A = this chain, B = another copy of it.
C-alpha cells in the first residue's frame, strides 16, 4: 500500500511508465518511479554430528512452529554472511557454510528463499528473542507436523532423502 513518495512526500499514482510494461508507483510531484522487487531470504541447515539444529519460532508468523535459522538478506552483506548472521541471531550457533542446498522461488509472496548447508563450529547454541527453543534433532525425530514453512519442510526432506542433488546444483531450480 504505497501512497506517498518517500523522496518528496508527493502523492503516488499507479501507471505504466514510458518504455516499461508493468504498473508502477510513480510520484506525481518529482516523477520518481518506486519499484518493488522480491526480497531474498538467507538461512541454513546447521549440522552437528549428523543432527540438525532447529529453532522454535518466538515471533510471528508461525509462532510456536519449528524452522531452520533464516531471515532477510541485509544490504552490505553476502548471502553466506547473511545466513551465518541469521543463524547466530536465531540460535547463537556459529556455523561454517559448506554449499548452497536450495534456492526456491516463492513468487506469490515475493521471496527468493536460499538455504545453505552448514557445519556448526561446536555444540554451543541457545534460545534468543526470536527462538523460544533451540535443539538438535536426529532425522527420525524431526517434528514434521510442526514445521513452520512448506519450503523449509521441503528442503529438510530433500536433504534427508537425497543429501545433495546428483548434479551438485541447488534444489528448487
What is A's interface to B at a CB cutoff of 8 Å? 1-9, 12, 19, 21-22, 25, 34-40, 72-80, 89, 99-100, 103, 105, 107-108, 110, 112, 129, 165, 167-170, 173
Number of identical monomers bound together in the oligomeric complex: 2
5 nearest CB pairs, A to B? A168-B168, A78-B105, A4-B9, A167-B168, A2-B6
Residue picked from A3, A21, A168, most chain B C-beta under 10 Å:
A168
How far apart sit A167 and B169, CA to CA, in the bound complex (Å)? 8
Q: B103 to A72, Cβ gap below 8 A?
A: no
Residues on B with beta carbons closer than 8 Å to the beta carbon of A100? 103, 169-170, 173
CB distance from A61 to the nearest CB of B (A): 16
Instruction: Give bound CA distance, A110 to B74, whole Å.
Output: 8
B8 & A73 in contact (Cβ 8 Å cutoff): no
Cβ-defined partner of A110 (8 Å) among B36, B76, B165, B168: B76
Query: Is A5 a contact partner of B4 (Cβ separation < 8 A)?
Result: yes
Shortest beta-carbon distance from A14 to chain B in Å: 13
Known A-B contacts A37-B39, A38-B40, A107-B75; A3 and B3 likewise in contact (beta carbons under 8 Å): no
What's the nearest-Cβ distance from chain B to residue A21, in Å? 8
Chain B proximity of A23: nearest CB distance (Å): 11
